[in-house]
Structure 1
């Protein structure tokens, strides 16, 4: 197998349906200013086997370089041996430029076979050097009433939320609507001491590349909670941000908002898996956040980041 660098136009033509939006050429180009350079790699023997988009950032060749996860692009399922060859070539490519390769894999539900093979290969190439986040998702396949996903205590809080005058709506993805959702999320994260990694202008720019759903929950006519959701592919979406306002917490909006989002996707879209994101930081557990997500029906899976440093072997 050999590694061949291509242009972004060639990459886009070769991989027209990436398994998730963060592996699209359009997303890479949007975020290209955040890297020193962006490299588009393909892997071939008798045919095209796969590809990898790398952001060259200091001493690291990163996949992703500005997203929750990256990993290989495939046009079809590949053997474990082919996956090993592709990652080894990518690590050698990075090492030849004096860099290490860093890969954060997508959650396993996006591609279970590729996930298993990638974990095996990268664990060995990295010498076991990995950070593992606990990632959460909601599986709506076969679900008719998402209330059944809730724990007993979450259902009681849901009952409390429904005792208030709450209104849920999906907003059209306009700069004005993005600003409304951003205001709620930004105030929530300031209150909780969490960083808000995307500026308003970045979210507006991202909406031109990433299909985006915006949701707002009001209590007594006043904004109480909001969510920004990205469509990963035809059947999966990711909650990038959600949160409530401190002054609205008496109405338990964060117990009602997830349920309404689940119901929206069940009724109006083919989306059946919602990635809710990780509840760890550098592998350290946020117990309250883990407990909350599990109470509203989320399942835990691992999301590892591997660093492969072959610089001394080249």
Structure 2
């Protein structure tokens, strides 16, 4: 049977996190976006757990992040432990009178073995799978400066020829400028941005947040990236964008090149560049763009169940 436990009890069993978005500090930072947070474990099995945010009668993981999912003692849990937890989760959701439960798992980059077992168990137990999102990541370990297509190198040369510069920015004014570049890009694309600049500054108390700017020779910012360093091997790209009216300068190619080199030099193994579409519908141009930059595609699964 699944039971609710205190924050302290849950943390005692799960002292490490598969990724930042189910980290205790991150959960505390966003818990005001739901009615209440519950931490769940089995009363006779402490090797797997789940944090859910409940709002309007629906239990979600995540409730304010790209993905959520489970804590576990190690990736090689017996399949029956995974299956039984999800089966008992259905009983818990029904017994609490909740309308539904929805869980978005991390991409395989974070937990390929657990994902295989979880997705299989979810489907066998009657969960519904939404159209999986295509997500992309870069292998920095094997990056040697060679690109899938030579046009990336050509566009980087074009950027340098036009006087573009790239830098990590640390002062408040430049961080704000980076955010504004991305905000303008989202507005041009008709897409919402779900974090304010103050939200990002708040995240700096939980995880290192890196802000990058690509500037023209006159100092004007025309490209930006914001990343979390919340994992031993993986850097997570939260926002990237450019001034679309000046895209022909090779801004994004130049940004990607420098990001890869920067994080590889820091010793990271992978760069998580997020989903390439919206609500399961791929953005064909973005998929192609990331693959030109040596990215590897995998799926991010969202599964739900209604009593």
* Range of TM-score over shorter length: over 0.9
Work out whether 1:120 is the aligned partner of 2:117.
no
Describe the SS at the equivalent of 2:64: coil
State the Cα distance separating 1:63 from its structure 2 match. 0.8
Mapping of 1:298-309 within 5 angstroms?
Answer: 298-309=295-306
In the alignment, structure 1 segments of 5+ residues that lack a partner are: none
Distance 2:10 2:173 in 1: 34
Give the corresponding residue for 2:166. Answer: 168
Gap runs ≥5 in structure 2: none
Q: Please state whether the residue corresponding to 1:277 is helix, strand or coil.
A: strand
Given that 2:137 and 2:297 are in contact with CA atoms closer than 8 Å, whether structure 1 keeps it comes out as yes
Residue 88 of structure 1 corresponds to: 87
Contact 2:235/2:271 (<8 A) preserved = yes
Structure 2 match to 1:9: 8
C-alpha separation in 2, matches of 1:251 and 1:304 = 36
Matched, 1:251 2:260: no
Equivalent residue for 1:56, pick from 44, 54, 60: 54
Residues 128 and 305 in structure 2, CA contact (< 8 A), matched pair in contact too:
no
2:71 match: secondary structure: coil
Once residues 209 and 127 of structure 1 are traced to their aligned partners in structure 2, the CA distance between those partners, rounded to angstroms, is 33
* Offset of residue 28 of structure 1: 1.0
Q: CA RMSD in A?
A: 1.7
Partner of 1:265: 263
- Say yes or no: does 1:107 pair with 2:104: no
Higher mean alpha-carbon deviation, 62-71 vs 176-185, is at 176-185
1:175: how far off? Answer: 4.7
Q: Does the 8 Å contact 1:3/1:89 carry over to 2?
A: yes
> Which 4+ runs in 1 deviate beyond 4 A?
174-177
Contact 1:185–1:243, Cα closer than 8 Å, also in 2: yes
Normalized against structure 1, the TM-score is what? 0.91
Measure, in 2, the Cα distance between the counterparts of 1:43 and 1:92. 12
Tell me the CA shift for residue 232 of structure 1.
3.6
Cα distance, 1:127–1:35 mapped onto 2, change above 3 Å: closer
Aligned-pair CA distance for 1:44: 4.8
